[in-house]
Amino acid sequence: MNYSYSRKTVLVAGAGRSGIASARFLLGRGARVILSDSKRREALEPGVSELLEYAAGFSGQLILEFGGNRAESFVKGDLVVVSPGIPLSSPFFEISRKAGVPVIAEIELAYRHLKGKIIGITGSNGKTTTTTLTAELLSGAGLKARSAGNIGTPLVQFVEESTPDDIYVVELSSFQLEAISAFRPFAAALLNLTPDHMDRYGGFEDYSAAKARIFMNQTSDDFAILNADDPRTAAMTASISAGTLLFCRTGEVTAGAFVRNGSVIFRGGEGDVELFPIDAMHVRGVHHLENVLAASLLALVAGAPPESLEANIRKFNGVEHRLEYVASIGGVEYYNDSKATNVDAVIKALEAFAGGIHLIAGGRDKDSDFAALRPLVEKRVRQVILIGEAAEKMRITLSGSAKIRNAVSLPEAVAFGRAEAEPGDVVLLAPACASFDMFENYEHRGRVFKETVQAFEKV
């Protein structure tokens, strides 16, 4: 379909990275763009100033509406493009829909115009690691691959320079998938499903349904990659139109990737192929094995030769803020898992270590059930150091499972961990919460943790 935006009015909701990228694209296509955000302009710089400078060179018109959304702007346009951080349940989008104005996600806007293939990756945990690794496996095999989406670079930012030979490996949140209509990745992976963002969804079924939308436009010519070890994702195979491949770390599958005798095996139409030994992996934790299995399948269906995978697996050292090794000081290891913003992610982090853990947790609660942490805390954690808004809820829930203390800041929490840790122990930041009570985002939280640890190294 030929989409034209010339002389049309498009409201872009949200002036973060995704919104700015959408506005730039639409201005370049001659649209009149209303950029709307509830934040004040100073909180959105330098992106807004850069956009204004860019807009001066195009025929399209840019209108800024900051410090609060205006209902009338959501009904007088031809299209609304929503950034992933804004709930579709917002009454402003309901106003648009009632007025007959389509509401789409930035990834849907990009999909309309992007040349090349799209690989989509979603799940409650492991998205960024799997996205990064998949792109590296493809690039290492000589293919032209880019990572995009929730991982940092909005997909729409690649449109103008895209070619049919490109492969875009896109990390997708449930929020982005809520607002797609035609978006169709030729290969899509759902890594796992555990309760997350329950503060934004009516229940787990709503959240799961949003994730499953990644498969909704696929046909038998496409590929769906699912986790056989997760009963929720495995159960979806019956309702998916695409060709299904499973990954499994605990047993063999009919078609897909699994582990046998210490090696990763691919089972396809031509029998079993040994890809690489597990000890080629440098990333820690059984959950990372799942990520590696999924990334390997995605790389294979996108054209990477099986024999190319091992060398690139050996080069991969993980992703920042995802169970990231920071330092060893006095025989104590420090790990930054700031991206562990839900309970299931923290469980996976705790499972990566045999014991002696000094767990730093807390932040803004996402209506999580912290009781699920209790069995592992009792077995593997020496002390829990709590920060942020959720500290009291976590203290009550985990009371008696380990030594618990509160810290007023993350640096103080790291200091408490250092003071109590013995050689062989681990100080682990794995918050099980969002970061927005004390930090700009989880990256900011992770940087503060690493800077604090690195300052101890110099003492």
pLDDT tens digit at each of 459 positions of the chain: 678 999 899 999 999 999 999 999 999 999 999 999 999 999 899 999 999 999 988 766 999 999 988 999 999 889 999 998 788 888 999 999 999 999 999 999 999 999 999 999 999 888 989 999 999 999 999 999 999 988 879 999 999 999 999 999 999 988 889 889 999 999 999 999 886 554 566 677 888 888 999 999 999 999 999 999 999 999 899 899 999 999 999 999 999 999 999 999 999 988 899 999 999 987 877 888 999 999 999 999 999 999 999 999 998 878 889 888 899 999 999 999 999 999 988 998 999 899 999 999 999 999 999 999 999 999 999 999 999 999 999 999 999 999 999 999 999 999 999 999 999 999 999 999 999 999 999 999 999 999 999 998 876
Is pTM, for the whole model, over 0.75? yes
Distances (CA, A) of 454 to 66, 338, 410: 39, 16, 14
CA torsion angle 164 170 174 177 (round to 10): -10
- Assign domain 324-457 to its CATH superfamily: Mur ligase, C-terminal domain (3.90.190.20)
Give yes or no on whether 108-315 and 324-457 have one common fold: no
Tokens standing for residue 451? 């800077």
Residue whose pair of structure tokens reads 């492991």 in the numeric block? 126
In this structure, are strands 332-336 and 324-329 parallel, antiparallel, or unpaired?
antiparallel
CA–CA gap between residue 399 and residue 221 (Å, rounded): 52
Q: Please identify which residue in the block is written with the tokens 């060398």.
A: 311
Give the dihedral of Cα atoms 319, 320, 322, 326; nearest 10 deg: 120
Query: Which class is 108-315 in CATH?
Result: alpha beta
- H or E element at residue 161: none
Domain boundaries defined on the chain: 9-101, 108-315, 324-457
Closest by CA to 361, choosing from 346, 379, 382, is 346
Q: What is the CATH number of domain 9-101?
A: 3.40.50.720
